[in-house]
Amino acid sequence: MQANVTTTEMLARLVSFDTTSRNSNLELIDFIRAWLEGLGVACRLSHDPTGRKANIHAIVGPDAPGGIALSGHVDTVPVDGQAWSSDPFTLREADGLLYGRGSADMKGFVASMLAAVPGLLKRGLTRPIHLFITYDEEVDMAGARRLIEDLAQSGRRPALCVVGEPSLMQPILAHKGRLALRVKAIGRSGHSSEPARGVNAIFAAARAIAHIAAEADRLAIEGPFMPGFDPPHATAHVGTLKGGTILNIIPELAEFVMEWRVLPGMDPHAEVAKLRAHLATAIEPAMKAVDPAAGFVLEVMDWAPAMSLDADHALATLVKSAAGSNAAGYVSYGTEGGLFEEAGIPTIVCGPGAIAQAHRPDEFIAQSQLDACDAFIARLAERLVT
């Protein structure tokens, strides 16, 4: 690929790689690395334990402490079962909209930051611009966690970070934290005509879910509240439930998967502990009276911390100025920004496209959003020249 490309041309190339999270991303990473190294920009890779996935950390400008990172993930959600109007891995333009898997979430931002590199190299930056490109954000954010480990090993750590998740180029100061939990109810099988001789795992799971639903209602009524979020309180949600075999057998096993989305300052692991305590005192005693082996097993599947940047922080001022925005908001979805902030790197979210388009069939990003992102990155760079 030629050195000077438009963001749209770069996006078309990125979309052409099927980097659904279940797949390896190495072909895409190799393409990006070869293109950057062709421009004289060195790349540092960090891999997942299988070696099938990798992050890129590249530095444009002086290899010096500080500077600002532009961060984006290149894994995407599946297209299975979705009714697309065209090939999801071939970028299609229609009426100023660019359709393709990952176009909004979030290869659009990655394309913009890569296409900006030739221009950045000519600017004579006095402070570095770090490029973070990560894997598995859509799964458990393992890529960002691995990248943060690598920053500690390399010592090449930015002072600030912008995560380019789709926000319609509006600065986002804060987002909620998230924890996903698998809950297994273990009962005792038997014939349905003798329910007292068994432990109905579906009943046990249903009682647990009823408690979670009541907690969700309580959070909505009692808070705590943080204006700016929609909704302005923590939430609890059960997404899947399964169990049992046939009608006339007492179900021995049932399982559901749930999540909490918590406000900044709340600890999602504390919510797990409260649920565990309720199960142990309110539901398990009756189960164990029939079979001591009955009960619940809780497994944290993944979690990510909330992010919260002070409205008066220099990064907020910088990004609002570069984005041409006088306001900054909050969102309820999560990003890798909470992990960077937890690692001591002040972080803000600002990127092209709308989150409403993410994960959908016919996902798209407006060309005008890419143009706005290009201008945003150029304005950021202007502030790193002097």
Reply yes or no on whether 137 is catalytic: yes
Where do the structural domains in the chain lie, given as residue ranges?
7-174+306-382, 177-304
- Give which of 175, 174, 214 is closest to 315, Cα–Cα: 174
Task: Report the CATH architecture of 7-174+306-382.
Answer: 3-Layer(aba) Sandwich (3.40)
Taking only the tens of pLDDT, the chain with its 386 residues reads 777 899 999 999 999 999 999 999 999 999 999 999 999 999 999 999 999 999 999 999 998 889 999 999 999 999 999 999 999 999 999 999 999 999 999 999 999 999 999 999 999 899 999 999 999 999 999 999 999 999 999 999 999 999 999 999 999 999 999 999 999 999 999 999 999 999 999 999 999 999 999 999 999 999 999 999 999 999 999 999 999 999 999 999 999 999 999 999 999 999 999 999 999 999 999 999 999 999 999 999 999 999 999 999 999 999 999 999 998 999 988 999 999 999 999 999 999 999 999 999 999 999 999 999 999 999 999 987 65
177-304 — its CATH code?
3.30.70.360
- Give which of 374, 207, 178, 360 is closest to 286, Cα–Cα: 207
Q: List Cβ neighbours of 321 (8 Å cut-off, separation of 6 or more).
A: 379
Catalytic residue among 18, 136, 137, 336: 137
Residue 378: phi, psi to the nearest 5?
-65, -40
CA-CA distance, 302 to 180, in Å (whole number)? 5
CA-CA distance, 368 to 356, in Å (whole number)? 17
Same CATH fold, 177-304 and 7-174+306-382?
A: no
pLDDT for 376 equals 98
Catalytic residue among 18, 75, 284, 341: 75
pLDDT for 348 equals 98
pLDDT for 386 equals 56
Angle between helices 26-38 and 108-115 (to 10 degrees): 20
Reply yes or no on whether 75 is catalytic: yes
pLDDT for 384 equals 76
pLDDT for 64 equals 87
pLDDT for 186 equals 98
pLDDT for 124 equals 87
